[in-house]
Every structure is written in C-alpha cells, then in structure tokens.
Amino acid sequence: MEDNEIIALYFERSQSAIRETSSKYASYCGTIAMNILHDRSDRDECLNDTWMKAWESIPPQKPEYLSAFLGRITRNISISRWRKRSAQKRKDGETAVCIEELSECIPDGSHSRIAEDLELKDLLDRFLGELGSDARVIFMKRYWYILSVKAIADELSMSEGAVKMSLLRTRKKLRQFLDEEDIEL
Amino acid sequence: MKENERLFEQLGEVNEEFIVEAAPKARIRRSGIKWAAMAVAGAAAAGVLVWQTGALEKNTKKPDEGKTSHVMEFPDDGSEPEKIVSSGEIDHGGAGSYTLMANDISQIIGNNPTREGSSFTKLPVFNGVINEFGEFDKDGDGKIDEGSEEKYKELRMDELNRAASFFTDKEVWINRDDDFGIEGAAGDVRVSLYGYGNLNIDFGTPIELPDEYKIRTMNNGKTIEESEKSVQYICDKYKDLLRFDSPEASIVENYDIYNNCNTGFYAYDKSDDPLTALINYNFNSADFRTDEKQIVDDPDALENPYDGFEYSGDLAHIGTSSRLDYLEFVGNYPIISYDEAYEKLINDPEAYIWPENLPDGLKKDEIFYAGIKYERTADYKYRLPYYMFYVEVHPEREGIYKLPEGRKEYEPAYILAVKKDYMEFPDTEVAFN
C-alpha cells in the first residue's frame, strides 16, 4: 500500500492504519530499534510504542516521508529505553560507541553561547546539506541508524577502513563547522 | 546530559530527506515480487523468452562443478520489449559511487572490458527475483512461492558450506540468519551471504601468500602490474571457488587526505565474447583484501590513523559477486551510443543520472570514460546499464579542502544507456517516500 493511502487510513481513524503500517514498516523500524537495543523483546515493545505514537500523532500531523517519520519515533523511543537500561548497568553496545565517537565533534567549550535545540537542528541540517552525498549517507548510517562500521562497509561495498576514514573526516568537519559557528553544546 | 549525547539526540531531528537517503536498503521490504512478476510476464507477453540463469540450482553443485564462464546468450526475437517503469536513478549505496583521489586517472579507471569502446546497440536488462526476505516467485504468477523462504535458506546454506569447504573441514555454524543476510563460521573462517548474492569469506588466520605476491590494502607499495600478478595468483589458486575460466585483474588505487594509498584488488571472468565479458565484469567478479591488525588502542588519535595498524600482506578476505544468480533477464533493450552519452554529459545537465550536480563547464580533457556499468536502481527493481565516466573535480576551488601536491580528485558520473523511449518514469522514486 502506498504511503498516502496509509496516511489516509489514519485520517479516517481506521484501525487498519496500524496493521498496514506494521506490515510495511516493521522491518525498517525494527532494524533501527534492534541496532540501538540489540534485544528482540525490547525491539518488539518499541515497535508497538511506535505504532501507538503514530496513531496519536496522525492527525493532526501529516508526514511528508512516512518512513522517516516512523523511523524517528522508533529512534527516540529506543534511545529513551536504552538510557533507562543503561542507567542500571555499564553502557555498552554500538549506541554507546557512536555517542563516544561524537565527542570528537564537540568544540573546545570556550564559547559563551549555548545553542538552543532548534538552532542546533538547523545547524546540523545545514552541515549535512553541505556535505557530499556519500559522506552524508555514511555519517547518517552510523549516527542515525547506528549501523556498525562493518555493516556499512558491507552494504556500500567499501572496505571498513574506507568507512572509518570517511567518518573520521566528517567528524572533524563537523567539529570545525560548529567551532566556526561560535556555539557551545 | 553530556554534550555528545545531546548531539546524538539532536541528530535524530535532522531533515527527513537525509534520513530517507541513508536508509539501510538491504532490510527494506519492498513490493518487489509484484513488479518482478509483472515485468517478467510483460516480457513473455512481448514474445521475449525469459532467460533463467539456473543459478538457484547452480548453488547446490559441488566445488568441482559449475563453471559459469560460457558464452552468455540473451534471446532476442526482435520484438519490442516492455517499457521499464523506473526513474533510472541509481541506488546511491552501490559500489563505485565515491570521489576518488589519485595522481593520475590510470590509477582509478579499472579494467572494464568496454572501456576502450564497444559496439552494442542493445543490452540485456535484469530485475530481481528474490526479495530481501528470501522469498521468491519463480513461476512468475505474482505470488510468493509457498515454502520459498525455507528453500532459499537451504540454498544459501549450501552456498556457505560450499565456500567454507575450500578452506576448512569444519562444519558451518550459523550466527545470524535474517532478512539482512546469513552469517556463519567454520572454525576461524567466517562466511556470509547478503541480499543479492554477495558472498564474503573472511579468514581469522590470514592465508599466507608467497613473498612476491604479498599485497596490502593500505599503502601497498607495488605497481599496478605487480598487483595484477598477485590477483592472478590468487585467482589461479582459488579457481574452483571463483569458477573463473580466464580471470582478469582490475586494480584501483585511491589516496586519502593523510596520503595513504588504498588499493582495491578485483578480478572478473574475462571472455572473448564482448557481451559475456561485460556481464561477467558486472555480475561475476571477486575482490580480495589483506589483513590489517590494529596495534594501538585508538588509531583515530594519531595524526595518521593508519599508523595504528600493521599489515602482513597476506590474504584475509575473498568476496564474490554472483548477483546474476539472483536476477532474471527482462529483455534486450536498445541503448544510446557512447557519442550520444558523451554529448549528454557535456551539454545536457538534465541527463545526469548521478551525481546530481557536476561542476559547470566540464573540460574535455578532464572527462574519462570508464566503460559500461550496471547499477541497481534506487527503486530496487532493475539492474540497468549506464555509461560511466570519471570527471576531474577541484575541491580546492570550492574551498572544501586543498589537495596534496600532485593529487587530483575524480567524481564518477553516470548516463543511462537504455534509450528513454523504453523508459516510463513513475511518480514515486524510492521505496519509502
């Protein structure tokens, strides 16, 4: 079923909206949840929460990209769950590694102005928009989809070294970009 | 919340187009079987015989069977093929879609058999039979074949066992088997098979190569001719695994900003028949990598991260691409000539399939023809032929970064080879819009 047809079901408040969404996007959203949580039962609960949140949000929202809309919900729910879980034990897994890697993007902290969330989002959009598409896709696969370097390399038919190198270059560029904007996180 | 955690969270809020663009393609469920069946049925209705690779059976053959390098024939009774319903846009996740840095174009151009020209007026087009979930519709009735997923899993297991059997007597244990692919290990040999038949064999203990054939993925220090000899040696040694009759090496070298030279070692099954050679180059190829052992805790902290690794020069990875095994012939399609493709590249910005923006005012001496390349379309439906060029770009002029002395940067550019009369462009272009 096409996305606009699924969205129409939400607007009609038809229960089949959730069934169609699950049928089309369970794998996509499940992948995101699994990448963050590495646990099947947690993944399944996140998926149920995602469908519920979508049901509550559409309408009034009318997503332009249903996949990204749902994926974002799943990512946020999964990260929130990961945080709660990690509070009780050592933070590990790919999510922790990704967050640690992003430390390299943080400016030195000498700036006095702390960016608001909205401003930071706009800056990130601008930065990603100025990146070459290859570097952007690799960066997003790593830090949005939390894919391992090996998974990215396999999917893009690249060596793991080339993926690491691309990520390193992009992290350095992001740090430089944020630094030039004179903001602090 | 720490700064890096805040950055991680805010990344979640970025423009949705970036999220869609980077979606992990191999896991996306598509309604592909429907279109695959329609395309096949359409081709049959148009009087074109549907050519079966027989590959699903081939995978079950024993190691000493199954040469693939016969002359390929794609039946053509002269009737008009059905229109291809696709934007023709390339899946950006595919190989060969990256800016490369080199001293000279000869380092990156590779050995595509059509690089020096070809006289094709028609070329075969393929589409997928098996979706990412391992389901297929072999009889083309538009429905997933009952038990197909189990059957496909069985076939994939056969392929992993076959691959592992060349290196170990141990049994393959499966670590993972899902819609992304199948991964297993036999002793310290890891074997995996992903979506479209890309088989990877990784050796925990690298296979020692004779001194004269040792190669290094990073900072190889050998000439292209020496590297080609090494690839030939590996191909000869594993000819039963690769099933190549006449292996031809293709070496690609690419520098990074730290002055490291990254070498790609590829091979394909060459043939005197031009079409067979082209198809093999695109669908029956292999790549080899050598070991890299991390010797410091945090290589990224070094000025040159690759100083944190050491390399023995032995073989650590064999990858094979048998994607034709998982594809189905749709029909032979009329294509534009090389001259027309070149003209479009120079004068028709709308004709670029990828990248979206090339620099204005392309200079003829900065354009290099790399041959005809099949790429997966962004809608996952087809493997279409493209004329592939490399265009010299100048990042320093755009203020992106300064190239090291003597280095040049090249961007691949693709022009769709299938004549547009045979294309029908749909409204939606990606699986998740």
**Is pLDDT of B432 > 80?**
no
Q: In a 10 Å sphere around its CB, with 0-12 CB exposed, 13-18 middle and 19+ buried, how is residue A124 labelled?
A: buried
Q: Looking at the complex, does the CB of residue B399 fall below 8 Å from at least one CB of chain A?
A: no
B101 pLDDT higher than 90: no
B306 to chain A: which residues are within 8 Å by CB?
A: 161
Nearest beta carbon to residue A144 from set B19, B356, B432: B19
CA distance A121 to chain B (A): 6
User: Which positions 341-370 of B are in contact with A (Cβ < 8 Å)?
Assistant: 355-356
Per-residue pLDDT at B208 exceeds 50: yes
The mean pLDDT of chain A is: 85
Per mean pLDDT, which range of A10-24, A46-60, B85-99, B187-201 is the poorest?
Answer: B85-99
Q: What is the pLDDT of residue B94?
A: 35
Contact A28 B289 (CB under 8 A): no
Q: Do residues B413 and B388 make contact, with C-beta atoms less than 8 angstroms apart?
A: yes
Could you give the CA distance from residue B148 to residue A12 in angstroms, rounded to a whole number? 36
Beta carbons of A154 and B194 less than 8 Å apart: yes
Element (H, E) at B279: helix B274-283
Give A135-160 pLDDT, tens digit per residue.
Answer: 999 999 999 999 988 888 888 878 88
For A35-39, A171-175, B33-37, B312-316, which range has the lowest pLDDT when averaged over its residues? Answer: B33-37
Q: Which tokens sit at B397?
A: 């002029």
Residue B66 has pLDDT above 50, yes or no: no
Residues of A in contact with B300 (CB under 8 A): 104, 164, 168
Give mean pLDDT, residues B61-76. 58
From the list A73, A97, A140, A121, the residue with the least C-alpha distance to B10 is A121
Which tens digit of pLDDT belongs to each residue from A64-94? Answer: 899 999 999 999 999 988 887 766 554 557 8
Average pLDDT, chain B: 78
Q: Which residues of B touch A98 (CB under 8 A)?
A: 8
CB contact under 8 A, B29 and A120: no
pLDDT tens track for B282-338: 999 999 998 877 788 777 677 777 788 888 899 999 999 866 777 788 899 999 999
Q: Cβ of B225 under 8 Å from any chain A Cβ?
A: no
Greatest mean pLDDT range, A171-185, B8-22, B352-366: B8-22
Q: What CA–CA distance (Å, rounded) separates A8 from B215?
A: 58
Q: Name which residue leads in pLDDT, A75 or B85.
A: A75
Higher pLDDT, B47 or A56: A56
| Cis before B124? omega within 30 | no
> Is the pLDDT at A4 greater than 50, yes or no?
yes
Angle A139-B387-B417 from CA coordinates, rounded to 5°: 110
What pLDDT is stored for residue B203 in this prediction?
A: 92
Structure confidence at residue B53 (pLDDT) = 34
Q: CA of A182, closest CA in chain B: separation in Å?
A: 15
Contact B59, B161 (CB under 8 A): no
A165–B256 C-beta distance less than 8 A: yes
What pLDDT does B246 receive? 92
Token output for B2: 């720490």
Secondary-structure breakdown of chain B: helix, strand, coil percentages, each rounded to the nearest 5: 25, 30, 45
Q: How close does chain B come to A168, measured CA to CA in Å?
A: 7
**The pLDDT value given to residue B115:** 93
User: Model's pTM, two decimal places?
Assistant: 0.61
Chain B residues with beta carbon closer than 8 angstroms to that of A154: 192, 194, 198, 200
Q: Which residues of A touch B20 (CB under 8 A)?
A: 65, 67-68
Judge: A144–B256 Cβ closer than 8 Å, yes or no.
no
DSSP 8-state class, residue A13: T
Higher pLDDT, B430 or B225: B225
Q: What percent of chain B has pLDDT over 70?
A: 72
Contact A158 B98 (CB under 8 A): yes
Under the banding of pLDDT at 50, 70 and 90, the label for residue B77 is confident
Which tokens in the block code for residue B98? 């990256």
Could you tell me how many CB contacts below 8 A there are between chain A and chain B?
A: 161
Phi, psi (deg, nearest 5) at residue A175: -60, -45
- Chain B residues near residue A143 by CB distance under 8 angstroms: 8, 11
Residue B433 has pLDDT above 70, yes or no: no
CA distance B157 to B186: 12
Helix (H, G, I), strand (E, B) or coil at A112: coil
Tell me the ipTM for this assembly. 0.89
The size of chain A, in residues, is: 185
- Min Cα separation B349/chain A (Å): 18
Instruction: Give pLDDT, residue A108.
Output: 72
Q: A52 to chain B nearest CA, in Å?
A: 19
